[in-house]
Amino acid sequence: MVKLKGEQIYLRALEQEDLDFLYELENNTDVWEVSGTIAPYSKSVLQLYLDNAHRDIFDVKQLRLVICDLKHKAIGLIDIFDFEPNHKRAGIGIIILDTEQRNKGIGAESITLLCNYAFDVLGLRQIYANILEENSASMHLFRKLGFNEVGIKKDWVRVKNTFKNEVLLQKLNN
């Protein structure tokens, strides 16, 4: 049985009460570079998103889960995106909003729980992550969890007037 609960956190579906948390996270310009966001989101747009968050991953090809501490406080999000059931692969993305909660093993625990779910429940063969080359903390985290670098996308992400490389990491379900 796959658990979505670890030692420090648990993963849960989005709820209506997550609107303010989503609003804060999606409009935090510090994370726009890694999320690909270029404009703020209104609460009404985010409410529409929440209203449809219950849709099946096989229908919408993505799944967003809230990372909560054991006191039930939302501290981040973890996503499955570009879900391809025929090819048995998907991308993974994670953000811990509160910088004080980073580098405490929460990301590793969240990724491990989600990978177990993706491999055991969804039957995926592989999971991949796209990480900016300069993001050494994320690169270290994903490598530590068994993701291998399989390519570099040169000048892939534009940030202001410069371009940055993005590394493609992959984990196979062996």
Residue spans per domain, the chain: 9-125
- pLDDT, position 85: 94
Q: Is the pLDDT of residue 2 over 70?
A: no
Give the CATH number of domain 9-125: 3.40.630.30
Instruction: Report the pLDDT averaged over residues 132-142.
Output: 94
Q: What is the pLDDT of residues 69-123, one digit of tens each?
A: 999 999 999 999 999 999 999 999 999 988 888 888 999 999 999 999 999 999 9
Instruction: Report the pLDDT averaged over residues 136-164.
Output: 94
- pLDDT, position 55: 80
Distances (CA, A) of 15 to 12, 45, 65, 77: 9, 15, 10, 12
Share of the chain above pLDDT 70, in %: 99
Q: Is the pLDDT of residue 1 over 60?
A: no
CA of residue 84 relative to chain centroid, distance: 16
Give me the amino acid identity at 87. H
- pLDDT, position 160: 84
